[in-house]
Structure 1
Amino acid sequence: MTSSSMDHTPGPSEPPVVALTLGDPAGIGPELIARLLARPDLTCLGKLVLVGDAWLWAEGQRVAGLQVRTEPVASLAEVRARPADAPPAFLAVDTVQPAQVRVGQADAAGGASVLKVLDRCMDAALARQVDAICFAPLNKHAMKQGGLRHDDELHHFAQHLGVTGYFCEFNTLGGLWTARISSHVPLREVASLVTVPRIVDAATLIYRSLQANGVARPRVAVAGFNPHNGDGGTCGREEIDVIEPAVRELERLGMPVQGPYPADTIFLRARDGELDAIVTMYHDQGQIAIKLMGFSQGVTVQGGLPIPITTPAHGTAYDIAGQGRANVDATANALRIACRMGRTYRDGRSLFGQAAH
């Protein structure tokens, strides 16, 4: 690698460097990435670099029925200096052998492969060699078999990146984003997590992240917790004692957040174009609505990290893996968000929860 490639300083109009991964090798991820990189309308959005096993990349193209041009690179550090109109780069890494992968099944070898590639990309992001990461679908069970020590990938990302502040997943569908103050916890534990600080943190994080995605004045609302928004306290007091004070605090901080609105009608406001984001109280309160509104289009954004990390909201689709039937729409949306937010991060205007190391 030459020193000029290491020292390249991007101009304000230069596309961001975005690392892509193939996801779980037994799922539809390799096929999705082949379909993604075959589209010039998407590859022009950033300086894209695919990181993964060479044999798996070839297999993804075979399943998709495509031959996609990529150019090999020896390291992620050299991608930024490549011409903006160059084909996507490919960094070959050896993480898993074909004999270790059973298509359509979660295995430890596949989970370990995912972790190795993602850690490589995060290290490059911390070194400012890439500006964002977009990963194809993974499988939590396989990752736990393969060495994941956390409940989910978001907590793995946060530890690897040294995050100490608040973080949470965002789920997006078109112009609508959702955050939640609790996620992968039993439903009976949620009430104890409905607190003013958590609501303020979640709303602040999604407000600032939308700004980083290009929305100057996000319209954010908070969902109630109890049926019928608590019915004036007769069906629970969280709206009165916790959520309303949190909304007032957010207004005091300069964020015109609305609510609480009844959870069974708040998404009607979003559907009608009145909102850019909704803060929900627990996982399925937002997930059911988002997936019903557009399962094949949704994107998960890992909120609160020092770098943008995105992925399609659907899973590995083991049932159709290897069949050439995967829908690339959500992955394309994930790449678009990664490129927009990656430029913001690269240019030093990021409003995420923590600075990069």
Structure 2
Amino acid sequence: MSDMLALTMGDPAGIGPEITVGAWQALHRHGPAFVVIGDPAILARAGGAVCEVADVAAARAAFADAIPVLPLPLGAPVAPGHPDSANADAITSSIAHAVRMARGGEVAGVVTNPISKVVLRRAGFPHPGHTEYLGELCGTPGREVMMLACPYLRVVPVTVHVALRQAIAELGTHDIIRTTRTTHAALRRDFGIDAPRIAIAGLNPHAGEGGTMGTEERDIIIPAIEALRAQGMDITGPWPPDTMFTPTARARYDVAMCMYHDQGLIPLKTLDMAQGVNVTLGLPIIRTSPDHGTAFDIAGQGIADPSSLVAAMRMAAEMAVHRNMS
């Protein structure tokens, strides 16, 4: 198994090219090493020393001196900050190529640069985001789970890229059980946590306050907790959402299962957005990404911070080590 990582290009009009160059500058001496699937000219324009390669072996040989790139042509010229849906096919092809490499054992994992869901949807992309597309590419649709992680906190939203009203309507006991089981298995296999401690958030203020502020805890969340405990997992909750992210509370669990997207992502990004990493659990491959978007408003200005991409690279490499040991 290779220890190289495949990095997708993301939206070339965003900050992906700049943070890719920044990540290479941070990692080219000691790794982890990566190969980019994208347009070499875009990276060169962002200030990178670039080397076109034909395979992973050539990429490894080149990495210390230049950013190795498996060339992928774009559909239209790129202007930083001005995305073009004509490049949607190239963006999604980069992701698909990286997944094929990971599934074939050519690379240890996939790290993805940010994409714009709006740009892709204009071109007919049918998926809500990266996570769901990766599930389809890996032949595991519906089993993928999104986790955000930083040095201070891990969170997993049970419902993800849907409107809040829809998230509440769709929340079900089965969904909590399925997502938590996937998370538990991934913490053991990919993070080396033998006995994960899992905190499950309530949905309502004060976790429903005994049913006086909502009944979802009683009817949906507590039955899931009881079922998971019966399977031998270390599960606590439902936790009042407004107190479960304090330093004292965070010391009591390894991951927080949240009922909707912002319930988990707001505290994590507030704590440490620079080191935040998006991880897709439940796949046969390793996939991480920065926890931020394309940032079209600052693209091309040379001010984008590559820290989250660097953290994503390092986390993918660490996950690969744990997975190979399991």
Alignment correspondent of 2:55 = 75
Alignment correspondent of 2:20 = 33
Aligned: 1:287 with 2:273: no
Note the aligned Cα RMSD (angstroms): 2.4
**TM-score between the two structures when normalised by the length of structure 1:** 0.83
Alignment correspondent of 1:6 = none
Cα distance change on mapping 1:139 and 1:270 into 2, 3 Å: farther
Aligned: 1:55 with 2:32: no
Q: Which runs of 5+ in 1 are unaligned?
A: 1-9, 350-357
Cα distance change on mapping 1:343 and 1:143 into 2, 3 Å: farther
Q: Which runs of 5+ in 2 are unaligned?
A: none
Structure 2 counterpart of 1:273, from 233, 251, 256: 251
% identical aligned pairs: 32
Kindly provide the amino acid, as one letter, of the partner of residue 23 in structure 1.
G
Cα separation, 2, equivalents of 1:198 and 1:334: 27
Kindly provide the amino acid, as one letter, of the partner of residue 210 in structure 1.
L
Kindly provide the amino acid, as one letter, of the partner of residue 254 in structure 1.
G
8 Å contact 2:158–2:258 — kept in the other structure? yes
Aligned: 1:330 with 2:317: no
Please state whether the residue corresponding to 2:300 is helix, strand or coil.
coil
**TM-score between the two structures when normalised by the length of structure 2:** 0.90
Kindly provide the amino acid, as one letter, of the partner of residue 117 in structure 1.
S
Deviations 1:239-297 (A, max 9, x none): 12221221122222222011110111111157653322100001111122122222222
Alignment correspondent of 2:221 = 243
Cα separation, 2, equivalents of 1:232 and 1:204: 26
Cα separation, 2, equivalents of 1:291 and 1:271: 17
Aligned: 1:156 with 2:138: no
Give the deviation of 1:319 after TM superposition. 1.2
Alignment correspondent of 1:123 = 100
Give the deviation of 1:72 after TM superposition. 4.1
Give the deviation of 1:318 after TM superposition. 1.0
Give the deviation of 1:348 after TM superposition. 7.2
For these two proteins, the number of residue pairs brought into alignment is 325
Aligned: 1:144 with 2:121: yes
8 Å contact 1:28–1:317 — kept in the other structure? yes
Kindly provide the amino acid, as one letter, of the partner of residue 161 in structure 2.
H
Alignment correspondent of 1:200 = 177
Cα separation, 1, equivalents of 2:115 and 2:63: 30
Alignment correspondent of 1:301 = 279
8 Å contact 1:17–1:79 — kept in the other structure? no
8 Å contact 1:301–1:310 — kept in the other structure? yes
Give the deviation of 1:303 after TM superposition. 2.0
Deviations 1:284-333 (A, max 9, x none): 11122122222222111122221111111111111111111011111111
Alignment correspondent of 1:179 = 156
Please state whether the residue corresponding to 2:218 is helix, strand or coil.
helix
Alignment correspondent of 1:319 = 297
Cα distance change on mapping 1:88 and 1:216 into 2, 3 Å: farther
Q: Which moved more, 1:280-289 or 1:45-54?
A: 45-54
8 Å contact 1:95–1:116 — kept in the other structure? no
Deviations 1:15-36 (A, max 9, x none): 7221012321111111101111
Please state whether the residue corresponding to 1:264 is helix, strand or coil.
coil
Cα separation, 2, equivalents of 1:230 and 1:57: 51
Alignment correspondent of 1:18 = 5
Alignment of 1:227-242 (within 5 A): 227-242=205-220
Cα separation, 2, equivalents of 1:295 and 1:145: 29
Kindly provide the amino acid, as one letter, of the partner of residue 55 in structure 2.
S
Deviations 1:33-53 (A, max 9, x none): 11111124x663434222211
Deviations 1:148-199 (A, max 9, x none): 2212121111111110452221111224211111111222222333222211
Please state whether the residue corresponding to 2:263 is helix, strand or coil.
helix
Cα distance change on mapping 1:295 and 1:47 into 2, 3 Å: closer
Aligned: 1:226 with 2:204: yes
8 Å contact 2:29–2:64 — kept in the other structure? no
Cα separation, 1, equivalents of 2:207 and 2:120: 38
8 Å contact 2:243–2:249 — kept in the other structure? no
